[in-house]
Amino acid sequence: MAPSLVNNGDIKSSPATGRVASVYSEVQTSRIDHSLPLPSVLRNPFKIVDGPVSSSAGNSGEIAKLFPNLFGQPSAMLVPNEVDTLSSDLKLKIGVVLSGGQAPGGHNVISGIFDYLQDRVKGSTLFGFKGGPAGIMKCKYVELTTDYIYPYRNQGGFDMICSGRDKIETPEQFKQAQETALKLDLDGLVVIGGDDSNTNACLLAENFRSNNIRTRVIGCPKTIDGDLKCKEVPTSFGFDTACKIYAEMIGNVMIDARSTGKYYHFVRLMGRSASHITLECALQTHPNITIIGEEVAAKKLSLKNVTDYIVDVVCKRAELGYNYGVILIPEGLIDFIPEVQALIAELNEILAHEVVDEDGLWKRKLTDQSLKLFEFLPQAIQEQLMLERDPHGNVQVAKIETEKMLIQMVETELEKKKQEGVYKRQFKGQSHFFGYEGRCGLPTNFDASYCYALGYTAGALLHSGKTGLISSVGNLSTPVEEWTASGTALTSLMDVERRHGKFKPVIKKAMVELEGAPFKKFASMRDEWALKNCYISPGPIQFNGPTSTAVNHTLLLELGAQA
C-alpha cells in the first residue's frame, strides 16, 4: 500500500514555472513518463505530397478576395518515404500560442512540436507566447526547453504558457504581430485554438505572406465543445477527455438516482453553441431524457414543449413505479429556442429605454407571445432576466441556470397534473452543472496521443514551409500506429458572414447533425432509455489496462467505426 497520495520522490521539476513535479499527485507523476506513441508515418522518414487545389466551404469568391495569397492552397499529406526529404541542417525558430478556453491536451500539442524540433531539426528554438494572442502582440514569451516542458507532459490545463481571448484583428494589432515575428526572427507560429482562433491564424498567415514576412502559421483544432471538425479534422482535442469526465459524474449520479429512488437529477453540461458534449454524454450513459439544442431549434420547439416532454416522461415513469431519473441539458439550450431569443431581444430594448414600473405596466410593451412566455417563466428566472445585466445593459443569458429553471417549470406543470389526478407522486429535482471540472483534467490516452500527433505534424508542416494549414490527424478509429498526418488549407474550411456591412471569414461551427450517425443512434434508443433504466456508469478515466484506450462514441460513429 502506498504511503501517500503525494509523491515526494526525486522528480525533475521546472522551477521556472508554476508547476513543481515533486509535489504532483501519484497519478500526475505517473502520467509525466507515460510514453506517447507516434503514428508510423511520423516515426519514420516521410515526404510531403500536395493534394488538389482547394476551395472553401462557401462563397469561394469572397474567400478568394479575403485571402489572395492563400486561397486555393492544396492540402499537404505526409507519406512514408525511403529517406527524409526535409533538410535537417536548418535551425528553426518557432512560436506557439494557446488561444481561448482550456481543453485537455494543449500541453501535449506543445510537447509534440518541441519533440519534432528535437528529433528532426536539432538546434531549433521554440518560444511560448504567454497569455494567448496578447503575448504575440506584446512580445511576451518564454523559451521552451526540455526542463521547462517536462512537468507538463500529459498534464491537463494550459498553465505552461497560459491562454487568452484577445484577437489579432485591427491593422495596429497585425502590425504588432509582425514586429514580434521580425524581432524573434520567427520561421513559424502554431496557433492552438477553436474556430475563431483558427480563422485568425489564417488571417495572420495571409497578412505575413502579403507583407513578405517569412513566418508561417499553422493551426491546431482545440475545443472541448467538439464543434470544430470537418472531414479532414475528425475531432477537436479535449472533447474526448471532457466528455469522459462529465460522463463519470453523470454515471455516478445515475447510480445514486436508482439507489435513492426519489430524485430527478437535471444535469446542465458545458457547451454554449453546439450540443455535442450533451449528445456524447448521453451515448456514454443512457439517461432518461436528453435535450439536444439543434433538435429543439430544427423543430422550433418552445420552452413549454420541452417542459411538456419532460413532464410526460416523468408521468409515464411514475406509472412504471420509477420516481427518479436523470436528464441532460446543454448549456446553450436557451439560445436554441426562438421564442426565448425574441423575449430577450424585447427585454433588452425595454430595459434600455423604458421605466420598469412595479405594477408591471411595462409588460404591455412585450408582444403577446413574449408576454405569455415571460408569465410562464418561474419568478426567480423573471427576476434574473430583469436584474442581471452585462455592462451593455443586456440580459445575461449565460447566467440563467437552465437546469433550475426547468426543474421549477416541471414542478409547476406536475402540480397541475396532480390536481387533475393524473400524477400522484412527489417530484423532487436536483440540479447540477458540469463545466469547469472537465476543461483541465488529465488528458485521456486518446487526447494525449492525438494532441502529441497534432503538434508533431504541425512541426513537420512548418519544417516543410507550409502556411495557412490546420494540422490534421486522421484514421482515428485505428491504432495510433496507423493514424495519418496532414495539413488542410484553413481557407477550405471557411465561409463568410456579413457583419457591419462587411464580409468576415468564418469557420462555421460544426453543429450536431440531426442526420448524422451519433444523433440517429441516440434518437433510435431514447424512447427505451426514457422508460427503462439502461444507465451505464463509465467510471473514472483509466490510464492503464484494456479500458484505457476507448474512444468516444461520437467520433467512432462519425467515422463509421461503430454501429
- Letters for 158-177 (x = contact with a copy of itself by CB under 8 A, - = none) are xx--xx--------------
CB of 401 to a copy of itself, least distance (A): 10
Is residue 225 part of the annotated active site? The answer reads yes
- Which window, 2-10, 193-201, 389-397, 508-516, contacts a copy of itself (CB under 8 A)? 2-10
State which amino acid sits at residue 46: F
Among 209, 318, 226, which Cα is nearest to 275's? 226
Touching a copy of itself, residues 470-499 (CB under 8 A): 477-480
**Which residue from 12, 53, 345, 436 is in contact with a copy of itself, where contact means CB under 8 A?**
436
Q: Provide the Cα torsion 137, 138, 144, 150; round to 10°.
A: -100
Q: Which residue has the cell 462555421?
A: 508
Closer to a copy of itself by Cβ: residue 116 or 246: 246
Q: How far is CA 148 from CA 18, 108, 127, in A?
A: 10, 13, 11
Q: Which of residues 375-404 bind a copy of itself (CB under 8 A)?
A: none
Distance CA 77, CA 393 (A): 50
Q: Which of the residues 266 through 285 are near a copy of itself (CB under 8 A)?
A: 284
- Taking CB under 8 A as the criterion, the residue among 27, 79, 352, 523 binding a copy of itself is 27
Examine residue 355 and tell whether it contacts a copy of itself (CB under 8 A): no
Sites for a copy of itself among residues 44-103 (CB under 8 A): 102
> With CB under 8 A as the contact rule, which of the stretches 23-31, 68-76, 337-345, 351-359 interacts with a copy of itself?
23-31
Give the contacts of 502 (CB within 8 A, at least 6 positions apart). none
DSSP 73: P
Q: Which residues pair with 457 in a beta bridge?
A: none
Distance CA 273, CA 471 (A): 23
Size of the site for a copy of itself (CB under 8 A): 75
**Strand 494-499 relative to strand 502-507: parallel, antiparallel, unpaired?**
antiparallel
123 binds a copy of itself (CB under 8 A): no
Check binding of 156 to a copy of itself (CB under 8 A).
Answer: yes
Cell of 170: 485591427
Query: Does the footprint of a copy of itself cover residue 439 (CB under 8 A)?
Result: yes
Does residue 28 belong to the site contacting a copy of itself (CB under 8 A)? yes
456 is in an annotated binding site: no
The residue count for the chain: 563
Catalytic residue among 187, 225, 240, 447: 225
315 binds a copy of itself (CB under 8 A): no
Q: What is the DSSP string of 274-328?
A: --HHHHHHHHHH--SEE--HHHHHHTT--HHHHHHHHHHHHHHHHHTT---EEEE
- What element of type H or E holds 557? helix 553-558
Choose which of 261, 352, 361, 426 interacts with a copy of itself (CB under 8 A). 261
Which parts are annotated binding residues? 101, 195, 223-225, 262-263, 270-272, 331, 436-439
**Which residues are the active-site residues?**
225
Which parts are annotated binding residues for diphosphate? 101
